[in-house]
Amino acid sequence: MIERSHVLICSGSNCVARGAKSLRAEFEEHLSNLGIRHEIKLVNTGCVGLCEQGPFVIVYPEGVFYALVKSKDIKVICEEHLYKGRIVERLVFDEALTENKEVKAFDEIKFYAKQTRIANRNCGLINPDDIEEYIARNGYRGLGKALLEMTRMEVIEEMMASGLRGRGGGGFPTGLKWKFAYNNESDQKYVICNADEGDPGAFMDRALLEGDPHSIIEGLMIAGYAIGADKGYVYVRIEYPTAIEKLKTAINQAKNLGLIGNDIFGSGFNFDIEIRLGAGAFVCGEETALIASIEGGRGMSRNKPPFPAEKGLWDKPTIINNVETLANVPEILFQGAEWFAKIGTEKSKGTKVFSLGGNIKNAGLVEVPMGTTLREVIYDIGGGIPNNKELKAVQTGGPSGGAIPPHLLDLKIEYETLHEVGSMMGSGGMVVIDEDNCMVDICRFYLEFTVDESCGKCTPCREGTKKMLEMLNIISSGHGTLEDIDKLEHLAKMVKNSSLCGLGQAAPNPILSMLEHFRDEFETHVVDKKCPGGKCKALIEIFITDDCIGCTKCVANCPVNCITGTAKQLHTIDTSVCIKCGICKNVCPVDAIISI
Amino acid sequence: MKSLDDLKKIRDAAQSKVQMRGKNEGIRVLVGMATCGISAGARPVMNKFVEKIAEYNLDKITVTPVGCIGECAIEPIVEILQGENRTTYCRVDVEATERIIKEHLIGGKVVSDYVIGKYRL
Ligand SMILES: Cc1cc2nc3c(=O)[nH]c(=O)nc-3n(C[C@H](O)[C@H](O)[C@H](O)COP(=O)(O)O)c2cc1C
Ligand code: SF4
Ligand code: SF4
Ligand code: SF4
């Protein structure tokens, strides 16, 4: 029986965490009860990107996009939509409903309309556990083309012509990296996929591994062919169990079809892939530390040169590429470098995937052509800032990046432009910060992270990050001086210039960029002893204004019982007891509680 | 996997698995499947469409059940949407289905015996 309808259930980790796992069983049950189970195909797919609105169910051929779906909704979807053909409007993602209540298809929604999905071309569209669905979408054609129609050098030249640059943070031209490894003669070479993804809050690589593992396998094999390696490793953090499981399934299926193994496509090319698990240290994403970790050593960086392309894993020429970089590779070979090079800007080609988070309505994964402006990402795709708050900054590049102020929102996203304003592309974390945040506090968050993650090998990073965090703590406590800010800046520059690896070299970036764009906020902390964002506890008081309607909600929620007042009367806080936890602020229905 | 042809064979065989997903710009067959439609026999009609479309490999055509069109007396109703053109067939049974597929979907000629209104929006 041919199915007339496909029901795609998002099974990315974010949706599973929101309860997507039980949805499939519900569908099975209700479709069977209605006697139409055989007419409908149920497909578990990878992340569709709009995580804030998950779990999702997408019904084809119409492309109807149901959001925030709960188990109990499935019965209605089965009975109404799948049985009687009546779309359940109440469950349709609100941005997919037009004013006249027409339902727009999945890819017509604003969130997707401005996106171009290359790396994510199959995510949310295919079942990652079924290699045939990947092949149906032209999977492994790029590999076939490389192995049968192109020389190794031609593959490298194709990559160079495409303009693809590393998506792991550095932005190094992928083709050029491959060429270095190609030119280094050796009896054995290796290719490694870097799936460590250590940037807190970033999950684009996880989504790719979970949603389309074959694209990474295929990309890695093409890289192997190009440089002359017959062995590949995928280095994944153990905190990604679903990704690891999908990857294992995919590798096994590829082996069974003879896509991994010996004499692939009769070309004489052999290739094998192994998964290596990392313990989740940020520094293990740095390529030399990653190699040390695969070799069984402690994950610590070493000096470069020699670069891995010369002396990498087991001292053999090795290339390391990021997950997203590799996901682009098969499509570039299949569609051609020229096609890819048309997308994006002069120096930054193709697309970039971002994990959009923080104070944003449509948090999730977005993939946009290079050259898209930050404004388009935040307002058109991300839906803007919730609760009518003002935008204060956009943070890109995670703990290695910086904050971009609102007057630079029309900046086109490119490696160079982001670098010029003191931030970086990074691996793709994009955190939207609204007015209720404090820049000193955010710097503290990132520095706490780098202090924890520093491997300790070199002094500037090991001691410097700690010292910088201490200085931030002093500023946040109100005991800082203007001189402290200058000292902090001085130290930050020193750590940046003298650390051994990228971790230490980039750790001061959040501080340096915040000082460049938000110096006045730091100064307010030390001169006026005030925290404009209302986050530094030592510098704020919590007050109840006259707007209080006396609902008593705050009283019931205060953990130290320091709020008094009778019902329907103005309430007050005993500031000598208040621990400034902010809970009352969050529960007050009329925003009568403020921190100043 | 010994040759690219092997891959292409798998690809062609697997096409039907994913074809429906993504943009659907081809012809759409809408079958009225509210309670009235179902009781008038819309279900076997829809199944016939699905089956035949697969059989003839009409990969640009999709079949969708839709709600009540409001003309319960002449159900089952089938609408064929092609760009701006809409053809509505009424009292469609399995036999009519075969004719609509052969004459309209493949042949491009409306089966006037069952039409209630052409280009009606
Ligand atoms: C501290 C640190 C952490 C890193 N973490 C990652 C990571 O999680 N994933 C990644 O792909 N690259 C990471 N990198 C970059 C890698 O060292 C390397 O440049 C990258 O994997 C190369 O792949 P690409 O050229 O495809 O971007 C990290 C670098 C540093 C300095
Ligand atoms: S910069 Fe930091 S992480 Fe890198 S080697 Fe030095 S101590 Fe280790
Ligand atoms: S901030 Fe926390 S401790 Fe202070 S009054 Fe509100 S709930 Fe109570
Ligand atoms: S929650 Fe707000 S409105 Fe209610 S008593 Fe407290 S301050 Fe007043």
Q: Give the 3-state secondary structure of residue A243.
A: helix
| CB-nearest partner of A85 from B13, B54, B66 | B66
- Domain of B40, CATH number, reads 3.40.30.10
Q: Interface pTM (ipTM) of the complex?
A: 0.82
Whether A250 contacts A217, CB under 8 Å: yes
Determine, yes or no, domain membership for A125: no
| pLDDT higher at A111 or A91 | A91
Question: Of the candidates A315, A341, A367, which is a domain's last residue?
Answer: A341
Tokens of A18: 């929101």
Whether A146 contacts A159, CB under 8 Å: no
Report the amino acid identity of residue A1: M
- Domain of A499, CATH number, reads 1.20.1440.230
State the best of B5, B20, B27 to mutate against chain A, taking most chain A CBs within 10 Å.
B20
CB pair distance less than 8 Å for A85 and B31: yes
Residue A518 exposure: Cα atoms within 13 Å on the Cβ side = 30
| pLDDT higher at A108 or A229 | A229
State the best of B2, B3, B4 to mutate against chain A, taking most chain A CBs within 10 Å.
B4
Distance of residue B21 Cα from the nearest chain A Cα, in angstroms: 6
Cis, bond preceding A55 (omega within 30 deg of 0): yes
pLDDT by residue (tens digit) across A96-116? Answer: 777 766 777 766 778 888 889
Domains contained in chain B, number: 1
The residues lining ligand 3, judged by C-beta closer than 6 Å to any ligand atom, are: A 542, 558, 560, 562-563, 573, 578-584
A557 CB under 6 A from ligand 4?
no
Nearest ligand, CA of residue A563? 3
Whether A289 contacts A299, CB under 8 Å: yes
Do A181 and A235 sit in the same domain of this protein? Answer: yes
pLDDT by residue (tens digit) across A274-308? Answer: 999 999 999 999 999 999 999 999 999 999 999 99
Q: Kindly state the average pLDDT of the residues B43-54.
A: 88
Lowest mean pLDDT among A149-153, A429-433, B107-111: B107-111
Provide φ and ψ at A510, rounded to 5°: -60, -40
Model pLDDT, residue B1: 76
Do A279 and A181 sit in the same domain of this protein? Answer: yes
Question: Of the candidates A78, A113, A148, which is a domain's last residue?
Answer: A113
Residue-wise over A243-252: b if at least 16 C-beta within 10 A, else e?
bbebbebbbe
For ligand 1, mutation pick of A177, A199, A284, A287 (most atoms within 8 Å of CB) = A287
Q: Give the 3-state secondary structure of residue A543.
A: strand
Cα A581 to ligand 3 centre (Å): 5
pLDDT by residue (tens digit) across B20-35? Answer: 776 666 788 888 877 7
Cα A166 to ligand 1 centre (Å): 9
Q: At what angle do helices A509-523 and A459-477 cross, to 10 degrees?
A: 20
| Burial group, residue A238, by CB count within 10 angstroms (0-12, 13-18, 19+) | exposed
Residue A551's domain comprises 541-595
Closest to A373 (Cα-Cα) out of A363, A365, A364, A382: A382
Residue-wise over A93-120: b if at least 16 C-beta within 10 A, else e?
bebbbeeeeebbbbeebbbbeebbbbbb
Model pLDDT, residue B119: 37
Model pLDDT, residue B70: 60
Do A318 and A373 sit in the same domain of this protein? Answer: no
Whether A177 contacts A352, CB under 8 Å: no
Say which residue the tokens 């290719």 belong to.
Answer: A191
- Domain of A377, CATH number, reads 3.10.20.600
pLDDT more than 70, % of chain A = 99
| Burial group, residue B51, by CB count within 10 angstroms (0-12, 13-18, 19+) | middle
CB pair distance less than 8 Å for B13 and A137: no
Nearest ligand, CA of residue A508? 2
Question: Of the candidates A506, A528, A550, which is a domain's last residue?
Answer: A528
| Residue B69: pLDDT over 80 | no
Nearest ligand, CA of residue A591? 4
Contact pairs from chain A to chain B, CB under 8 Å = 106
Residues in contact with A262: Cβ distance below 8 Å, sequence separation at least 6, in sequence order: A270
State the best of B3, B64, B78, B97 to mutate against chain A, taking most chain A CBs within 10 Å.
B64
Model pLDDT, residue B72: 66
Do A191 and A250 sit in the same domain of this protein? Answer: yes
| pLDDT higher at B15 or A132 | A132
pLDDT more than 90, % of chain B = 12
Find the closest chain A residue to B5 by CA distance. A265
Model pLDDT, residue B120: 40
Rounded Cα gap, residues A292 and A270, in angstroms? 25
A552 CB under 6 A from ligand 4?
yes
CA torsion sign for A561, A563, A564, A568 is negative
| Residue A174: pLDDT over 70 | yes
